[in-house]
Amino acid sequence: MTKYIYEYKNWTDFSWQDKSINVVFGEVRLMQGKIIGQMNSLGFSAKEEAALTALTLDIVKSSEIEGELLNYDQVRSSIARRLGINTGGLVSSSRHIEGVVEMMLDATRRYNLPLTHERLFGWHAALFPTGYSGPCSIEVGRYRTGEMQVLSGAMGKEKVHYEAVKPELVKAEMDKFLDWFNNENRLDNVLKAAIAHFWFIIIHPFDDGNGRIGRAITDMLLARAEASGERFYSMSSQILAERKRYFEVLQKVQYSSGDITEWLQWFLECLKNAMLATEIITQKILRKAEFWKLHEHTPVNERQRLVLNKLFENFEGKLQTSKWAKLTKTSTDTALRDIKDLVEKGILKQTDEGGRNVNYQLVDLKLE
């Protein structure tokens, strides 16, 4: 019968083939340095914007991996408020979102503090402020006391993908994990992030939220690797994009007798892809910074500023008067006046598409 990795003696003495991961590991370390260099040359507000965007994506996508959709604007506003970033048009956010943001900021901004049982319990309580996960009551702010299986499929026809460590062993396993986390100083923190993620997921110490807390632990160690609490790329966004492979590799390596080379390979490739994706986001942020520099003396009202900023961020679909009115919570007449004013100022233009609804877009920036 196939054994789970934790059923082997000294299962946490992980091994891997250095030659299989050296090339991608070197690329990741090089890219980390390159990204930090790029960000430091951006200027304060653009750098702040880049960190805000990456952190927002990380939180939204980490929840999406678990099938939970968080409101992007609420998450962004919650982070901006806590970091004292003035983005204009802040929206209020739910208690649940505040909790998720709290956990992520604690992990990334206070990355040098020790990770303790109490700190993890605090994160767990922040993720589940009502004591419920969906309709189900769960044990919050403490390790699980029940069996844990990862299942899929319809009720009565479930397929067991994984059966976690027995509940009576969780505390001892977490003692060992936290001792390693806080005291192992010889390993590079990027590799340590990969190992910590896998190790924590194998223990699966909580009733729910293990994936999100595991990814927060990953981000904490990546922050240590860069000696910076500012995040400029989103590992969770990339895990979501590669979710099928993520679960496949986890499922395969959970049966290993200790060699986790395949997991490390996947993790490092995923991290590299996350950094490549950041370059696209950085270009958008630069474009936005250049736009406002170009229009620093152009009079625009708060509604116009709000929508223009949105067009540089995560704007979906086409810009129409009705969408403007909805975004700015105003009438369609006011929305049309705002849009026409920006058309006259050469900021927006009407698209060539015909049809009942007129669409608008940003005039291409002609930057010297």
Residue with tokens 């091994």: 15
Residue 138's Cα: distance from chain center in Å? Answer: 24
Q: What is the pLDDT of residue 287?
A: 85
> Domains in the chain, please, with CATH?
5-286 (1.10.3290.10), 298-362 (1.10.10.10)
Strand-pair partners of 159: 152
Beta strands in 98-246 (DSSP E): 132-133, 136-137, 149-152, 159-163
Helix (H, G, I), strand (E, B) or coil at 233: coil
Q: What is the pLDDT of residue 98?
A: 96
> Which DSSP letter does residue 303 get?
H
Strand-pair partners of 259: 15
* H/E element, 360: strand 360-362
CB atoms within 10 A of CB 166: 11
> Which DSSP letter does residue 134 get?
T
Tell me the C-alpha to C-alpha distance, in Å, between residue 73 and each of 20, 53, 91, 248, 274.
41, 11, 7, 32, 22
Beta strands in 272-359 (DSSP E): 348-350
pLDDT digit string (tens) for the chain, length 368 residues: 689 999 999 999 999 999 999 999 999 999 999 888 888 887 788 889 889 999 999 999 999 999 999 999 899 999 999 999 887 667 889 999 999 999 999 999 999 999 999 999 999 999 999 999 989 999 999 999 999 988 877 778 888 889 999 999 999 999 999 999 999 999 999 999 999 999 999 999 999 999 999 999 999 999 999 999 999 999 999 999 999 999 999 999 999 999 999 999 999 999 999 999 988 878 888 888 889 888 989 999 999 999 998 888 768 888 999 999 999 999 999 999 999 999 999 999 998 776 667 899 999 765 43
145, 170 Cβ separation under 8 angstroms: no
130-163 in b/e form (b: 16+ CB < 10 A) is eeebeeeebebbbbbeeebebeeeeeeeeeeebe
Q: Which of 327, 361, 344 is nearest to 335 (CA)?
A: 327
172 Rama class: left (phi>0) / alpha (psi -120 to 50) / beta: alpha
> Which DSSP letter does residue 271 get?
H
CB atoms within 10 A of CB 335: 21
270, 239 Cβ separation under 8 angstroms: yes
Q: What is the pLDDT of residue 1?
A: 65
Residues 19 and 252: their CA atoms lie apart, in Å, by: 21
- The CA angle 40-41-45, to the nearest 5 degrees, is 75
Q: What is the pLDDT of residue 357?
A: 75
Q: What is the pLDDT of residue 248?
A: 95
Q: What is the pLDDT of residue 198?
A: 98
Judge residue 61's burial from the number of C-beta atoms within 10 Å of its C-beta, 0-12 exposed, 13-18 middle, 19 or more buried: buried
CB atoms within 10 A of CB 227: 10
Q: What is the pLDDT of residue 290?
A: 85
208, 133 Cβ separation under 8 angstroms: yes
- The CA angle 65-268-284, to the nearest 5 degrees, is 65
Q: Which of 70, 68, 71, 97 is nearest to 82 (CA)?
A: 97
331 Rama class: left (phi>0) / alpha (psi -120 to 50) / beta: beta
How many residues are there in the chain? Answer: 368
